[in-house]
Structure 1
Protein backbone atom coordinates (compact mmCIF):
# COMPACT_ATOMS: atom_id res chain seq x y z
CA UNK A 1 0.00 0.00 0.00
CA UNK A 2 1.63 3.23 -1.08
CA UNK A 3 4.93 1.47 -1.85
CA UNK A 4 5.17 -0.06 1.62
CA UNK A 5 5.02 -3.60 2.87
CA UNK A 6 1.87 -4.69 4.67
CA UNK A 7 3.76 -4.69 7.97
CA UNK A 8 5.01 -1.12 7.44
CA UNK A 9 1.52 0.04 6.49
CA UNK A 10 0.03 -1.57 9.62
CA UNK A 11 2.56 0.25 11.81
CA UNK A 12 2.01 3.69 10.26
CA UNK A 13 -1.76 3.55 9.61
CA UNK A 14 -3.87 5.27 12.28
CA UNK A 15 -7.19 3.83 13.37
CA UNK A 16 -8.99 6.87 11.90
CA UNK A 17 -7.29 6.36 8.54
CA UNK A 18 -8.18 2.65 8.67
CA UNK A 19 -11.86 3.55 9.17
CA UNK A 20 -11.68 5.92 6.20
CA UNK A 21 -10.31 3.12 4.01
CA UNK A 22 -13.08 0.79 5.22
CA UNK A 23 -15.71 3.38 4.29
CA UNK A 24 -14.07 3.90 0.88
CA UNK A 25 -14.01 0.17 0.15
CA UNK A 26 -17.65 -0.25 1.19
CA UNK A 27 -18.65 2.53 -1.19
CA UNK A 28 -16.26 1.86 -4.10
CA UNK A 29 -15.33 -1.84 -3.80
CA UNK A 30 -12.00 -3.57 -4.11
CA UNK A 31 -8.75 -1.72 -4.70
CA UNK A 32 -7.58 -4.63 -6.90
CA UNK A 33 -7.85 -3.53 -10.54
CA UNK A 34 -8.48 -7.06 -11.80
CA UNK A 35 -11.41 -7.48 -9.42
CA UNK A 36 -12.81 -4.12 -10.49
CA UNK A 37 -12.69 -5.21 -14.15
CA UNK A 38 -14.26 -8.55 -13.25
CA UNK A 39 -17.10 -6.79 -11.42
CA UNK A 40 -17.73 -4.48 -14.37
CA UNK A 41 -17.91 -7.31 -16.89
CA UNK A 42 -20.05 -9.36 -14.49
CA UNK A 43 -22.47 -6.44 -14.25
CA UNK A 44 -22.76 -6.27 -18.05
CA UNK A 45 -23.25 -10.04 -18.30
CA UNK A 46 -25.92 -9.99 -15.59
CA UNK A 47 -27.80 -7.14 -17.28
CA UNK A 48 -27.67 -8.92 -20.65
CA UNK A 49 -28.84 -12.27 -19.28
CA UNK A 50 -31.64 -10.72 -17.22
CA UNK A 51 -32.83 -8.64 -20.18
CA UNK A 52 -33.06 -11.76 -22.37
CA UNK A 53 -34.34 -14.36 -19.89
CA UNK A 54 -37.49 -16.34 -20.50
CA UNK A 55 -40.65 -15.46 -18.62
CA UNK A 56 -40.75 -17.11 -15.23
CA UNK A 57 -37.02 -17.82 -15.20
CA UNK A 58 -35.09 -16.81 -12.12
CA UNK A 59 -33.07 -13.60 -12.41
CA UNK A 60 -29.29 -13.91 -12.37
CA UNK A 61 -27.19 -12.20 -9.70
CA UNK A 62 -23.89 -10.44 -10.28
CA UNK A 63 -22.10 -13.11 -8.22
CA UNK A 64 -23.17 -15.74 -10.79
CA UNK A 65 -20.63 -14.14 -13.14
CA UNK A 66 -17.83 -13.35 -10.66
CA UNK A 67 -15.53 -16.35 -10.47
CA UNK A 68 -13.17 -14.88 -7.87
CA UNK A 69 -15.66 -13.43 -5.39
CA UNK A 70 -18.12 -15.23 -3.15
CA UNK A 71 -21.61 -13.95 -2.54
CA UNK A 72 -21.83 -12.43 0.92
CA UNK A 73 -23.91 -14.38 3.42
CA UNK A 74 -27.49 -13.29 3.97
CA UNK A 75 -28.00 -11.17 7.07
CA UNK A 76 -30.62 -12.09 9.65
CA UNK A 77 -32.74 -9.07 8.62
CA UNK A 78 -32.60 -10.09 4.94
CA UNK A 79 -33.55 -13.67 5.79
CA UNK A 80 -36.49 -12.59 7.93
CA UNK A 81 -37.66 -10.22 5.20
CA UNK A 82 -37.60 -13.00 2.59
CA UNK A 83 -39.66 -15.31 4.83
CA UNK A 84 -42.60 -12.91 4.96
Structure 2
Protein backbone atom coordinates (compact mmCIF):
# COMPACT_ATOMS: atom_id res chain seq x y z
CA UNK A 1 0.00 0.00 0.00
CA UNK A 2 2.99 2.27 0.21
CA UNK A 3 2.46 5.24 -2.04
CA UNK A 4 -1.19 4.58 -2.84
CA UNK A 5 -2.96 7.91 -2.87
CA UNK A 6 0.24 9.68 -1.81
CA UNK A 7 -0.07 8.42 1.76
CA UNK A 8 2.21 6.42 4.01
CA UNK A 9 1.18 2.93 5.08
CA UNK A 10 0.20 4.20 8.53
CA UNK A 11 -1.97 6.98 7.04
CA UNK A 12 -3.58 4.60 4.55
CA UNK A 13 -4.41 2.08 7.29
CA UNK A 14 -5.91 4.82 9.41
CA UNK A 15 -8.09 6.18 6.58
CA UNK A 16 -9.00 2.97 4.74
CA UNK A 17 -12.41 1.61 5.61
CA UNK A 18 -13.07 -2.11 5.89
CA UNK A 19 -15.24 -1.99 2.75
CA UNK A 20 -12.41 -0.29 0.83
CA UNK A 21 -9.98 -2.91 2.09
CA UNK A 22 -12.25 -5.70 0.85
CA UNK A 23 -12.54 -3.98 -2.53
CA UNK A 24 -8.74 -3.72 -2.83
CA UNK A 25 -8.35 -7.35 -1.76
CA UNK A 26 -10.82 -8.47 -4.45
CA UNK A 27 -8.99 -6.35 -7.03
CA UNK A 28 -5.64 -7.88 -6.08
CA UNK A 29 -7.05 -11.44 -6.22
CA UNK A 30 -8.33 -10.71 -9.72
CA UNK A 31 -5.37 -8.77 -11.14
CA UNK A 32 -2.40 -9.83 -9.03
CA UNK A 33 0.15 -7.71 -7.24
CA UNK A 34 0.36 -3.94 -7.48
CA UNK A 35 4.18 -4.11 -7.46
CA UNK A 36 5.38 -2.98 -10.91
CA UNK A 37 8.51 -5.15 -10.82
CA UNK A 38 6.61 -8.33 -10.00
CA UNK A 39 3.99 -7.53 -12.66
CA UNK A 40 6.84 -7.19 -15.16
CA UNK A 41 8.28 -10.52 -14.03
CA UNK A 42 4.92 -12.19 -14.62
CA UNK A 43 4.56 -10.65 -18.08
CA UNK A 44 8.06 -11.79 -19.03
CA UNK A 45 7.35 -15.28 -17.70
CA UNK A 46 4.15 -15.45 -19.74
CA UNK A 47 6.08 -14.45 -22.86
CA UNK A 48 8.78 -17.04 -22.12
CA UNK A 49 6.15 -19.74 -21.60
CA UNK A 50 4.47 -18.82 -24.90
CA UNK A 51 7.77 -19.01 -26.79
CA UNK A 52 8.64 -22.33 -25.13
CA UNK A 53 5.28 -23.83 -26.09
CA UNK A 54 5.58 -22.59 -29.67
CA UNK A 55 9.03 -24.23 -29.77
CA UNK A 56 7.40 -27.52 -28.77
CA UNK A 57 8.15 -27.75 -25.05
CA UNK A 58 5.45 -29.55 -23.14
CA UNK A 59 4.75 -29.87 -19.44
CA UNK A 60 5.92 -26.38 -18.52
CA UNK A 61 3.89 -23.98 -16.43
CA UNK A 62 4.10 -20.27 -15.82
CA UNK A 63 5.77 -20.97 -12.47
CA UNK A 64 8.72 -22.64 -14.21
CA UNK A 65 9.65 -19.10 -15.29
CA UNK A 66 8.86 -17.45 -11.95
CA UNK A 67 11.53 -18.78 -9.56
CA UNK A 68 10.46 -16.46 -6.72
CA UNK A 69 6.80 -17.50 -6.74
CA UNK A 70 5.12 -20.71 -5.67
CA UNK A 71 2.21 -22.15 -7.65
CA UNK A 72 -1.12 -21.86 -5.87
CA UNK A 73 -2.22 -24.92 -3.94
CA UNK A 74 -4.88 -26.91 -5.79
CA UNK A 75 -8.33 -26.44 -4.34
CA UNK A 76 -10.69 -29.36 -3.99
CA UNK A 77 -14.00 -28.69 -5.72
CA UNK A 78 -16.89 -31.09 -5.70
CA UNK A 79 -18.92 -31.69 -8.86
CA UNK A 80 -21.99 -29.75 -7.72
CA UNK A 81 -19.95 -26.69 -6.85
CA UNK A 82 -18.07 -26.85 -10.17
CA UNK A 83 -21.31 -27.07 -12.15
CA UNK A 84 -22.71 -24.03 -10.30
CA UNK A 85 -19.59 -21.99 -11.07
CA UNK A 86 -19.19 -23.09 -14.69
CA UNK A 87 -22.82 -22.93 -15.82
Q: What TM-score results when the alignment is normalised by the length of structure 2?
A: 0.73
Residue 51 (structure 1) aligned to one of 51, 54, 58: 54
Ranges in structure 1 where 5+ consecutive residues have no aligned partner: 79-84
1:25 aligns with 2:4: no
Task: List structure 1 runs of 4+ shifted beyond 3 angstroms.
Answer: none
Q: Report deviation, 1:51.
A: 1.6
> In the aligned structure 2, how far is the partner of 1:7 from the partner of 1:75?
34
> In the aligned structure 1, how far is the partner of 2:17 from the partner of 2:48?
39
> In the aligned structure 1, how far is the partner of 2:7 from the partner of 2:70?
28
> In the aligned structure 2, how far is the partner of 1:69 from the partner of 1:26?
15
Matched with 1:71 is: 71
- Name the Cα RMSD after superposition: 1.8
Tell me how many residue pairs correspond in the alignment. Answer: 75
Matched with 1:16 is: 19
